[in-house]
Structure 1
Amino acid sequence: MESETEAEDAFFDACDTPPLANSAQPSPLLPLRRLPFWEQSSPSPLPFPNRVDSPPSPDLLRALINIFLKIVAFQTTLLLSSIAFPLRLISLFSSFLSDPRGTLHRWADQLWRISSSFVENHAGLALRVSVGCFWALVVLCSLMACLVFALFVGKIVMAVAVEEPLDFAMDLSFDFTRSSPMAEVSFPRPLSPPGRRFRSTVSLTLAESEYNRNLGIFQVRVEFLTADQKPLASSSRPCMMRFKSAPVRILETILKLVLVLVDISSETQTISLSMGGFAVPASAPAASAMVVLEPRAGQRLGTGLPELYSASLRMESELPLMRRLLWSWRRTLFVSIAIFIFNFELLLLLICCTPLLLPGYYRRAHG
C-alpha cells in the first residue's frame, strides 16, 4: 500500500513540473488532475461598459414642434375665419341692398368664370358629370311617376274595398212650450243599408244651478221615424246630474274662479246618454229622429224638466266585423298596397327599360 501511494505522488509531481525551455524533446502529454471543488476559483466577471442615457433624437423634437405649430396655425385660422365670415356676409348684404342689379350681375359673372374655367380644364370630367346628372334625373322622374301612380291606385282600391262608417252629430232645439219638450231633426241622408245597426247618443249640457241640483231624475226618449213620420224604433233612458257635495263644490269653485271670470271655463255639466242601437228595417230607412224630455212620475204640469244650455244627437253606424277590421287598418293597408304596386312597377321598369335606365350596365352585360 505504501509503495502504491509513493508511486502516485511521484506521478502527480511529474505532471506539475513545467517543461524545460531548452529541452530538445517535448514532454509527453499527460492527463491533468482535476482540482477539488473547494480549490476551484470562480471566473472573474466580464467588465460592462458604463451606461450613459442618450439624448432625445432631434427628429422627435422637430416633429413635436411641427405638430404644435400646426395646431396654433389651425386655431388662428379658425378664429380669423369666424371673425371674417360675418363681416363678409354683412358686406355682401349691404352691397346687394345698395345695388341689387349690379351685385347679381357680378355674382353671375363670377359663377360663369368659375364654371368656364372648370369646363376648360376638366372637359372630360364635366361631360361625364353632366351625363350622369342627366341620367340620374331620368331615373328620379321615373321613380316619382311610379310612386304617384302607386299612390293613386292604392287610393282607388281603398275607396272600393273600405267602407267609411256613418258618424255625424246634430244640434237639438227643444220646444219648451210643450209639457214634454221635444226636438226633431232630419238626418243628412237616410240610414242605410237595410239590416245595418246604428247607435245613438244624446248629449245634454246642464247649468250647475240650484234648481238642476234639486231636480233629480228625468227621462230622455228617442224615436226614429221614416220619411212619412212612421215610428221605426224607440229608446228611453233616465238621466240626472252628477252629485257633488258642498265642500267639493266650494273647492272646485275656488280652483276654477279665475278661469270662470275670464270665460275660459263655465259652471256646467255635460251628460252623455247612450240610447242603445237599432237595426234599419228593410221596409223603409230611418229619415229623422225625435228626442223628448219627460218629467218623472208625480210631477206637476210644467215641472220636473231641466235647465239646458245645449243638446245634441250623435249617430254612429256599426260595421260588420270584416269591414270594421278594414276600416281600423286602413292606413296600414293603403301603405302596403302602394308599396306592393311600386315594387311591381319598379320590377317592370328594370325588366323592360334596362337599356334606357341603365345603359352602362346593359352594355357591359351584353358585350
Structure 2
Amino acid sequence: MALLSPFIAIFSIASDSYHRAEEAVDAVESVFLKAPSKVIHGTTTLLRKIGFGIVGAVYVCMVMIVVMLLAAMLGVGLVQLWIEEPVFMQESLFFDYTDANPKAVFTFGGFVDDGSIKKGLMGVPLGHTFHVSLALLMPESDHNMQIGMFQLTAEVLSADGNVMAKSSQPCMLRFRSLPLRFLRTFLLGAPLLLGISEETQRISIKMLQLKERHPRSKVIRVTLIPRAGTVCLPQLYEAEILLISKLPWTKEVVRNWKWTFYVWASIYIYITMLIIILSCCRPLLFPITVVDPSHCPDSDETEYTGESKEARAEGRDEKGISEVLRRWQQRRRKRKAIILHGEMVDSTECSSASITREDTSMAVDEQDIVDSESVC
C-alpha cells in the first residue's frame, strides 16, 4: 500500500487538473458564446438611449419655440399698448355761401371734459401738439384773378364753445401774365380738351398749431373773409383740412425705438416664462418616464449581474486551486508519516528505498501541481 500511494496521489492530482482544465475550457466557450448576445444587447441599449435623447431634445426644442412665440406675441402686444402713434386726419370742408362770411366746421374731438370718449369720434391725445393746414383747389378764372387777396380764419373751439386758439392767414392765386396763360393754353391744348389737365391751382396754407390739454378741443371752424372794401368771395372747387399731431419727445423716442423695445420686452418675458416653467412646471419641459424594474430590467443591472458572475467564477477558480494545494499538502504529510513509521519497522535499506521513491513521487507531484496551476 505504501508503494502504491504515490501513484494514487499522482492519479488524483492528474484527474483534478483534467477536470479543472475542462471547466476552464467550458467557461471560455460560454464566454465566447455569450459575447455576441452581450454586444447585441449593449448596441440595442445604446441605440435606445440615443433615440430617447433625440426625441427628448426635439420635444424640449418644440416647447421652447412655443414659449418663445408666446413671449414674442406678449412683448409686441404690451409695447403696442404702451406706444402712441401720431394722429393723422384729413377731411373735406364745405363752406356755407349763404352767409356773408362762409364758414365750415370740422369736428374731431371725441373726448369730453371727464376724459371719456364718444363713440365714432377720434380726438388728439393729451400732450400731443397738432398742426392744422388747409388745401384749396381754385379755378384760374377771371373772377378769382380780380378778387386777388382774401382772408382765411381758423378757430379751435372746446366742447363748451370757447375759443382756445385762433389764426388768420391771407391768401391769393399765384399771378400769371396773359401771354404766359395763352402760351400754356396753346401747349396744353390737347390735355385740356381730353380732361387730363385743368386750369386750376392748389393752395396750401398752414393755419395754426396747438398743444392738447384741458379743456379738450373738439371743433375747428374755418371762415372765408373777403378783402376789406369788397364783398366778393373766391370761387372754390374743393377745400380740405389736414390735422397732424406730433408726439412728446419721450413718446417720440419710444416710437422711433419700438423694434428695440419689441426685442427686449420679448426676451424678458421669455426668460421669465422659462424660470416659471423650470420652477413650477418642470415635468412639462422634462417629462419623467417611470420604468418598472420587474418588467423592464435596466442595462446597468445586467452589466452588474455579468460582473458578479465573472467575480464568482474567479472566486471558484481560486478556491479550486487552494483546495488542490491543501489536498497535496495533506497527502504529503500522510506519506511522511508512513515513511517514518516504515523506518521504525523495516531495515535501513527499505527506508532508503522508500525515501528515494518519496522524493521521486514528490518531484512528480510538484511538476503535476505546476502543470495543473498553469492550466487553471
Report the number of matched residues: 233
Seen in structure 2, the aligned counterparts of structure 1 residues 144 and 194 have a Cα distance that, compared at 3 Å, is: closer
Unaligned runs of 5+ in 2: 1-46, 112-122, 289-376
- Residue 270 of structure 1 and its aligned partner are, at CA, apart by 1.9
1:317 maps to what in 2? 245
Looking at structure 2, the residues matched to 277 and 149 of structure 1 have their Cα atoms a distance apart, in angstroms, of 42
1:329 paired with 2:257, answer yes
Looking at structure 2, the residues matched to 254 and 128 of structure 1 have their Cα atoms a distance apart, in angstroms, of 90
Of structures 1 and 2, the larger Rg is shown by 2
Seen in structure 2, the aligned counterparts of structure 1 residues 346 and 269 have a Cα distance that, compared at 3 Å, is: farther
1:306 maps to what in 2? 234
**1:169-318 superposed matches below 5 A:** 169-190=90-111, 196-246=128-178, 249=181, 253=185, 259-280=191-212, 282=214, 284-299=215-230, 301=231, 303=232, 305-318=233-246
Seen in structure 2, the aligned counterparts of structure 1 residues 311 and 348 have a Cα distance that, compared at 3 Å, is: same
TM-score by length of 2: 0.50
SS in 1 for 2:152: strand
Unaligned runs of 5+ in 1: 1-125, 360-367
Seen in structure 2, the aligned counterparts of structure 1 residues 250 and 344 have a Cα distance that, compared at 3 Å, is: farther
**1:137-152 superposed matches below 5 A:** 138=59, 141-152=62-73
Seen in structure 2, the aligned counterparts of structure 1 residues 338 and 205 have a Cα distance that, compared at 3 Å, is: farther
Whichever residue aligns with residue 217 of structure 2, its letter is A
Deviations 1:75-127 (A, max 9, x none): xxxxxxxxxxxxxxxxxxxxxxxxxxxxxxxxxxxxxxxxxxxxxxxxxxx99
SS in 2 for 1:185: strand
Segment drifting more, 132-141 vs 197-206: 132-141
Deviations 1:216-248 (A, max 9, x none): 211100112222323222111111123344565
Looking at structure 2, the residues matched to 193 and 207 of structure 1 have their Cα atoms a distance apart, in angstroms, of 37
Looking at structure 1, the residues matched to 48 and 187 of structure 2 have their Cα atoms a distance apart, in angstroms, of 75
SS in 1 for 2:80: helix
Looking at structure 2, the residues matched to 211 and 187 of structure 1 have their Cα atoms a distance apart, in angstroms, of 34
* Percent pairwise identity: 33
- Residue 340 of structure 1 and its aligned partner are, at CA, apart by 5.5
TM-score by length of 1: 0.51
Whichever residue aligns with residue 278 of structure 1, its letter is L
Higher normalized contact order (CA 8 Å, seq sep 6+, divided by chain length): 2
Looking at structure 2, the residues matched to 132 and 258 of structure 1 have their Cα atoms a distance apart, in angstroms, of 79
Whichever residue aligns with residue 156 of structure 2, its letter is F
Looking at structure 2, the residues matched to 253 and 128 of structure 1 have their Cα atoms a distance apart, in angstroms, of 89
SS in 1 for 2:237: strand
- Residue 173 of structure 1 and its aligned partner are, at CA, apart by 0.7
- Residue 215 of structure 1 and its aligned partner are, at CA, apart by 2.7
1:161 paired with 2:82, answer yes
Seen in structure 2, the aligned counterparts of structure 1 residues 349 and 194 have a Cα distance that, compared at 3 Å, is: closer
- Regions of 4+ moved over 4 Å: 126-137, 191-196, 245-265, 339-359
Whichever residue aligns with residue 310 of structure 1, its letter is E
Whichever residue aligns with residue 79 of structure 2, its letter is M
Looking at structure 1, the residues matched to 58 and 184 of structure 2 have their Cα atoms a distance apart, in angstroms, of 65
Aligned-residue CA RMSD (Å): 4.1
Looking at structure 2, the residues matched to 143 and 261 of structure 1 have their Cα atoms a distance apart, in angstroms, of 68
1:20 maps to what in 2? none
Whichever residue aligns with residue 330 of structure 1, its letter is K
